[in-house]
Amino acid sequence: MNWAALQDRPGFPKTEPFPIKSLYVHIPFCAGRCSYCDFFSISAQDRPQFFSSEHELAYVEAVLEQARLWTEALKAGPFATIYIGGGTPSVLRERVLERLVKGLEPYATNGCEWTIEANPESVDRRLLDVLSESKVTRISLGVQTLSHEVWSVLRRVGSVEDSKRAIELVREYPFELSADLLLGIPLPQGRAETVEDILLESLAYLAERMPHISLYDLTLEEGTALQRQVACGALIIPSADEMAEARGAANALLAEHGFRRYEVSNYARPGHECRHNEAYWNMEPYLGLGSGAVSTIQYPDTDRPSLLGAMIRITGEKDIEQYVAAPAELPTPVEYIDRKTGLFEFLMMGFRTARGVDTRRIASLFGIDVAQVIPNSLARWSQEIIRSEHSIALRPRSFDILNRFLVECLEELD
C-alpha cells in the first residue's frame, strides 16, 4: 500500500486524516444464497473450495495483516465500535472465528461496542462460548422472518424452528441482542395472509425477546432469484399502501413494547441503540477491512476551502484470492467524494435518524450553516421538522416523507 502516492494525486488532501474510531470487518462467506440477496458474498453451495478450514484461516490472517498495516498507515483506532458483518461471519469455524476476534482485540478500546452478525442456523453453544470468552458484546441475528408462509420464498438456509431455537439459546448469554427482519416479502398469488399479518407474526415474537430490532424494506434487486420470480408473475410484490399499513402496524406494536424508532429502519428500547450504526449515520470516518469492505476517510483541509468536507472512499478488493494474496494493497480506483456530494450524504444519513442532522458537526467540517443551504426545503416541510440548538431532524412520524424531502434538498443544493 502506498499512501504517499495516494496523497500525491491531484485534488487529494495532504493533511492527516481525522481519527478513525469505528471498524467494520467483512466476512464474505455464506452457507447458501438467499433469493433476494445481492450483497457481496460467496456461498458454500456455489464455491465450496473457499470453505475449507485452510481457506477460512488464510482469509482471517489476511484481515489481521491488513488491520496491522492500515491502522498504522492511517493512525486509525483504538476503536470505540467494531462490527463484524457479511456475508455470514458465524459460518466460520469456531477456531477461525476465535483467531479473528482475539487478533482484533488489541484494537478495541475498553468499553468498545463490538457486534458480530450471525445467522440463526449457525448459532450453537460452541460458537457462543467462543464469543463470550472474547470482547464481543453484541450479536445481531439475521432472522428476516419467522413466518412459515414466506420462509421458502426467501430460500434461506435453516428453518423457522432453527431461528427460534437460536433466539432462545442466545438469550442465555450476556450479549446485547438485535434481530433483522424484512418487510414486504413478495407473496404467491391468492395468499390469504396480508403483508401486515406476516410481519406481525414475526415481530410479536421478537419484540418480547430482543431489545433492538432492525426492520428493513425488502428491495427487489436486479438479477436475484426473487426478482425473476416476481418478473414471471409467480410472486407479487406488496403495494405501497400495503407496505405503509404494515410499517404503521409495526410502529404501533413496537411502541407498545417500549421501543423507540431511532432511525428509519431501526428500533430500540432506551439504552440499546447500536453505537456503531449511530457513528455510521453521523458520517464519522470508519475503517473497513476484508474483501469488498468500504472505508471512509475524512480530512481537515484548512488551506483549500474547496476541499472542506471532502472524503475518500476505498472499496476493498473483491477478488477474494487476490485480496488474501495482498491484503494491505491499496485497491483502485479510490473514490474521491467531493464537497457537494459529501454534504448531501451527511444530510441523507442524518435525516434518517430521530437525532437528525448534527448542525455543529457540519459547520465544523464544511464551514456552512445547514439552515442556510436548504432553507426552502426546511420551510416547505416545517410541520414535519424539529429544530434544536445543534440539530435539525424529521419527526419520526414523518419518516415516510424522507425520500421526497431529500430530493428537494438535493435540488436545492444544485
By beta-carbon proximity to ligand SF4, the closer residue of 108 and 226 is: 226
Return the range that interacts with ligand SF4 (CB under 6 A); candidates 80-88, 106-114, 182-190, 268-276: 80-88
By beta-carbon proximity to ligand SF4, the closer residue of 186 and 350 is: 186
Q: Which of 41, 81, 163, 377 binds ligand SF4 (CB under 6 A)?
A: 41
By beta-carbon proximity to ligand SF4, the closer residue of 120 and 356 is: 120
Q: Which of 17, 77, 87, 331 binds ligand SF4 (CB under 6 A)?
A: 87
Q: Which of 20, 37, 320, 406 binds ligand SF4 (CB under 6 A)?
A: 37
Tell me how many residues contact ligand SF4 (CB under 6 A): 11
- Is 119 one of the binding residues for ligand SF4 (CB under 6 A)? yes
Q: Which of residues 138-197 bind ligand SF4 (CB under 6 A)?
A: 142
Lookup: cell for 100: 479473528
Distances (CA, A) of 335 to 263, 295, 296, 312, 357: 27, 10, 9, 6, 24
By beta-carbon proximity to ligand SF4, the closer residue of 39 and 344 is: 39
- Is 86 one of the binding residues for ligand SF4 (CB under 6 A)? yes
By beta-carbon proximity to ligand SF4, the closer residue of 18 and 39 is: 39
Residue ranges of alpha helices (H) inside 240-374 are 240-256, 275-281, 320-325, 339-350, 359-366, 370-373
Going by their DSSP bridges, the two strands 266-268 and 212-217 should be labelled as antiparallel
By beta-carbon proximity to ligand SF4, the closer residue of 115 and 119 is: 119
- Is 34 one of the binding residues for ligand SF4 (CB under 6 A)? yes
By beta-carbon proximity to ligand SF4, the closer residue of 90 and 359 is: 90
By beta-carbon proximity to ligand SF4, the closer residue of 88 and 291 is: 88
H or E element, residue 207: helix 195-207
Task: Quote the CA–CA distance of 31 and 41 in Å, as a whole number.
Answer: 10
Strand partners, 387: 392
By beta-carbon proximity to ligand SF4, the closer residue of 157 and 324 is: 157
By beta-carbon proximity to ligand SF4, the closer residue of 102 and 165 is: 165
Task: Quote the CA–CA distance of 355 and 393 in Å, as a whole number.
Answer: 6
Q: Which of 81, 88, 147, 391 binds ligand SF4 (CB under 6 A)?
A: 88
Task: Quote the CA–CA distance of 64 and 84 in Å, as a whole number.
Answer: 13
Q: Which of residues 47-76 bind ligand SF4 (CB under 6 A)?
A: none
- Is 33 one of the binding residues for ligand SF4 (CB under 6 A)? yes
Return the range that interacts with ligand SF4 (CB under 6 A); candidates 35-43, 72-80, 245-253, 324-332: 35-43
Q: How far is the CB of 87 from ligand SF4 (least distance, A)?
A: 5
3-state helix, strand, coil in the chain (%, to 5): 45, 20, 35
- Listed in sequence order, the residues at least 6 apart from 309 whose beta carbon sits closer than 8 Å to its beta carbon are 298, 339, 342, 343, 346, 362, 365, 366, 367
Catalogue the long-range contacts made by 257-263 (C-beta closer than 8 Å, 24 or more residues apart).
257/207, 257/208, 259/207, 259/213, 260/354, 260/396, 261/354, 261/396, 261/399, 262/353, 262/354, 262/355, 262/396, 263/352, 263/353, 263/354
Q: How many CA atoms lie within 13 A of 35 on its CB side?
A: 19
Return the range that interacts with ligand SF4 (CB under 6 A); candidates 36-44, 196-204, 283-291, 368-376: 36-44
Query: Which among 70, 251, 44, 69 has a CA at the least distance from the CA of 157?
Result: 44
Return the range that interacts with ligand SF4 (CB under 6 A); candidates 12-20, 86-94, 96-104, 241-249: 86-94
Angle of helix 240-256 relative to helix 195-207, nearest 10 degrees, comes to 20
- Is 216 one of the binding residues for ligand SF4 (CB under 6 A)? no
- Is 214 one of the binding residues for ligand SF4 (CB under 6 A)? no
Return the range that interacts with ligand SF4 (CB under 6 A); candidates 81-89, 263-271, 317-325, 357-365: 81-89
Residue ranges of alpha helices (H) inside 89-180 are 94-104, 125-132, 148-154, 160-170
Contacts with ligand SF4 by CB under 6 A lie at 30, 33-34, 37, 39, 41, 86-88, 119, 142
